[in-house]
Copies of this chain bind each other. A is one copy, B any other.
Amino acid sequence: MSDKEKISTWFQHLQADIIRQLEEGDGKGKFIYDEWQRAEGGGGKSAVISNGNIIEKGGVNYSAVYGDTPEFLIRNDSTLAGSSFYATGVSIVLHPESPMIPIIHMNVRYFEAGENVFWFGGGIDLTPHYVNEEDAKFFHQTLKDACDLHHQDYYNQFKRWADDYFFISHRNETRGVGGIFFDHLSGDKEQLFEFVKTVGSTFAPLYVSLMKKHASEPYEPIHKQWQYIRRGRYAEFNLVYDKGTKFGLETNGRTESILMSLPPRAEWAYNHQPQAGSNEALTLSMLKKGINWV
């Protein structure tokens, strides 16, 4: 089995395994599946959940696409002229019903082109509607523990990268409390694949524990209102800045799979400002780069 087959097979299993854990954690929602083909080569399997007990809308998408290496990559590396590429990954966004449960995103991906070029990328980041310091610490500690299994610098490096990447510049606020983000990692392929496997496997237990922790917390209309506003920010990030979304839309990817990341419902109120001293204002004050959660 070639590397790419080994990796994409592992990603397919990861998708199935995460779906199993999320369905178990949710207790009601079931994923529905759409398999799609890409005219130029490859395809994917989208899995979407809606109206669960806990998850209002979300997707766990797998894809493996291939074909002629696109022009913009050849521009950066002329040795790729005339070569083929292969890209595979799993991409997840989950929007919970309750404003007390955070939105989460996870992505792991592998790319190769020609004979010698390959890289891994990925990340996990958490977007609480209300920042809960205990959750943020637990989340970052879990990511740090996962990173530390592979390299002592990974957590610090990839945590900083997430702060920079998941940033809504026009609001001057981070999307949430960050997490880890990495891209174009190449070197020892076996070791990097082991790291990416750890990241992928860390996701489901981590999020299910946060889902369950807050599932029975009561909330009021004011909290839903704030959730809709924060989801508006999430939509802004994904449509304006997210590189995967941009790349997918520009390269004629499957729109419904790419935009599964958008919230079920979002709101925009002109110049919305939370009351001073409120929990909403406290959350805003923590949507900053460079907070050390561990």
Residue of B nearest to A169 (CB): B249
Q: Which of B171, B255, B269, B271 contacts A34 (CB 8 A)?
A: B271
Known: A228-B265, A239-B235. A270 touches B249 (CB 8 A): no
Binary interface encoding of chain A residues 100-126 relative to chain B, with 1 for a CB under 8 A from any of its CBs, else 0: 000000000000000000000000000
Interface-lining segment among A73-81, A186-194, A256-264: A256-264
| B-contact bits for A23-58, CB 8 A (1 contact / 0 none) | 000000000001000000000000010100000010
Q: Which residues of B contact A270 (CB under 8 A)?
A: 48, 50, 57, 59, 256, 260
- A265 & B267 in contact (Cβ 8 Å cutoff): yes
Expressed in whole angstroms, the Cα–Cα distance for A264 and B265 within the complex equals 11
Which of A50, A170, A265, A269 counts the most chain B CB atoms within 10 A?
Answer: A170
As for how many copies of this chain the complex holds, the number is 2
A59 partner residues in chain B, CB cutoff 8 A:
270
A232 at the interface (CB under 8 A from B): yes
Q: What size tier do the contact residues of chain A reach?
A: 20 to 34
**A266 contacts B265, C-beta separation under 8 Å:** yes
User: Which chain B positions have C-beta within 8 A of A269?
Assistant: 50, 57, 264
A16 at the interface (CB under 8 A from B): no
A239-252, CB under 8 A of B: which get 1 and which 0?
Answer: 11000000001001
Which residues in chain A, 123-155, are within 8 Å of chain B measured between CB atoms?
A: none
Q: Mark A251-294, 1 if CB is under 8 A from B, else 0.
A: 01001101110111111111100000000000000000000000
Given contacts A236-B239, A239-B235, contact A267 B264 (CB under 8 A): yes
The docked-state distance in angstroms from the alpha carbon of A232 to that of B170 is 20
In the assembled complex, the Cα of A263 lies from the Cα of B235 at a distance in Å of 12
Which residue of B has the minimal Cβ distance to A49? B270
- In the complex, chain B residues whose CB is within 8 Å of the CB of A239: 235-236, 239-240
Q: List 23 A-B contacts (CB under 8 A).
A: A48-B270, A48-B271, A50-B269, A50-B270, A57-B268, A57-B269, A57-B270, A170-B249, A170-B258, A170-B259, A235-B235, A235-B266, A236-B239, A236-B259, A239-B240, A240-B240, A240-B249, A259-B268, A262-B268, A264-B268, A265-B265, A265-B267, A266-B267
